[in-house]
């Protein structure tokens, strides 16, 4: 049979074998160096991506401003042409009205009064 006293009892948790202090320091140094390297690379990549986006937005903004200024110039030209057309039309109407007034014979009241007194 099986004798329970002859059986070795195994501990539930095995103890880790202790490392010398120099190995602990060295492994901590490697973890710290790796963490700083990962942090530096991720920060640099984020900065590069943001700069690329900002330059793209800047270029787009400059193009939009150039289009806006071009549209303003076109609007000013159209307004100027419209004002010229309106002013020429009004002058022609005024000239037509003057010609029709000078071609008609008008009797003025003071002329009739002068003729009646003689």
Tens digit of each residue's pLDDT (9 = 90 or more) over 25-73: 899 999 999 999 999 999 999 999 999 999 889 899 999 999 999 999 9
What is the structure's pLDDT at 64? 96
> Taking all residues of the chain, what is their mean pLDDT, rounded to a whole number?
81
Mean pLDDT of 87-94: 75
Distance, in Å, from the CA atom of 70 to the CA atom of 76, rounded to the nearest integer, reads 10
DSSP 56-117: HHHHHHHHHHHHHHHHHHHHHHHHHHHHHHHHHHHHHHHHHHHHHHHHS----HHHHHHHHH
Residue 76 to residues 70, 82, 84, 87, Cα–Cα distance (Å): 10, 10, 12, 16
């Amino acid at each position: 049979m099986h004798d329970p006293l002859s059986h070795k009892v195994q501990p539930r948790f095995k103890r880790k074998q202790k490392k010398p202090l120099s190995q602990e320091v060295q492994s901590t140094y490697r973890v710290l160096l790796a963490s700083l390297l990962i942090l530096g690379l991720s920060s640099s990549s984020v900065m590069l991506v943001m700069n690329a986006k900002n330059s793209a937005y800047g270029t787009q903004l400059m193009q939009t401003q150039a289009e806006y200024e071009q549209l303003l110039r076109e609007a000013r030209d159209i307004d100027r042409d419209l004002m010229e057309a309106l002013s020429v039309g009004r002058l022609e109407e005024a000239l037509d009205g003057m010609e029709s007034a000078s071609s008609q014979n008008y009797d003025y009241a003071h002329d009739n009064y002068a003729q009646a007194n003689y």
